[in-house]
């Protein structure tokens, strides 16, 4: 019981970040969720071998990276656009200290609230309705390039806002 509670405590704390790491490499949302599930299981199975002095997040991400490579090797259905060395580099970047997930989520919520409505609409189309860019372009009757540039600017703004909120800017 204790062991399981312990695991859950660690896992839940890092779940979001783990999903972020996997999602940054595996762009297909469903595939990303699948892999996250599989990784969760492996982590649990291997929890006995986990060294508490080590960062749980780092350990979990390492396992996730392997899982990603495995999935890609098994079925090309999970496209992995980045090479193994690059994934290592990304791993390294994720290892660096980052704000607490819940804090970042809160900051993001506040920053989303500050967006003008039309920007929020675009964000919603992309992240809530999960539209592809071509579908978004259709929906708002704009060019794909225009939509992309708008989304890029909004993301940049949001990032700056979040960093400001967290005092890490």
What is the number of alpha carbons within 13 Å of residue 99 lying toward its C-beta? 17
**Smaller CB separation from other proteins, 53 or 126:** 126
HEC profile for 113-164? Answer: HHCCHHHHHHHHHHHCCCCCHHHHHHHHCCCHHHHHHHHHHHHHHHHHHHHH
Q: Does 89 bind other proteins (CB under 8 A)?
A: yes
Minimum Å gap between C-beta 51 and other proteins is: 22
Q: Does 100 bind other proteins (CB under 8 A)?
A: no
Minimum Å gap between C-beta 120 and other proteins is: 9
Q: Which of 62, 69, 137, 166 binds other proteins (CB under 8 A)?
A: 137
CA distance 95 to 78: 24
Q: What is the distance, to the nearest Å, from the Cα of residue 44 to the centroid of all Cα atoms in its chain?
A: 21
CA distance 97 to 127: 26
Minimum Å gap between C-beta 66 and other proteins is: 18
Minimum Å gap between C-beta 91 and other proteins is: 9
Q: What is the distance, to the nearest Å, from the Cα of residue 99 to the centroid of all Cα atoms in its chain?
A: 14
CA distance 90 to 85: 9
Other CB atoms within 10 Å distance of the CB of residue 137 = 17
46 to 75, contacts with other proteins by CB under 8 A? Answer: none
**Smaller CB separation from other proteins, 5 or 53:** 5
Minimum Å gap between C-beta 159 and other proteins is: 6
Q: Which of 55, 66, 70, 143 binds other proteins (CB under 8 A)?
A: 143
Q: Does 128 bind other proteins (CB under 8 A)?
A: yes
**What track of x and - describes contact with other proteins for positions 6 through 35 (by CB under 8 A)?**
--x--xx--xxx-xxx-xx--x-xx--xx-
């Amino acid at each position: 019981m204790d062991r399981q509670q312990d695991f859950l405590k660690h896992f839940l704390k890092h779940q979001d970040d783990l999903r972020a790491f996997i999602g940054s490499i595996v762009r297909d949302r469903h595939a990303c969720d699948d892999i996250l599930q599989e990784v969760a299981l492996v982590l649990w199975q291997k929890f006995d071998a986990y060294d508490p002095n080590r960062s749980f997040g780092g350990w979990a991400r390492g396992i996730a990276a392997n899982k990603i490579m495995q999935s890609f090797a098994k079925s090309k259905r999970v496209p992995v656009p980045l090479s193994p060395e690059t994934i290592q580099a990304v791993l390294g970047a994720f290892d660096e200290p980052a704000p607490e997930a819940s804090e970042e989520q809160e900051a993001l919520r506040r920053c989303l609230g500050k967006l003008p409505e039309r920007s929020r609409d675009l964000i919603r189309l992309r992240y809530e309705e999960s539209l592809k860019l071509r579908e978004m372009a259709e929906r708002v009757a704009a060019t794909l390039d225009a939509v992309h540039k708008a989304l890029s600017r909004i993301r940049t703004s949001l990032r700056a806002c979040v960093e400001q909120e967290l005092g890490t800017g």
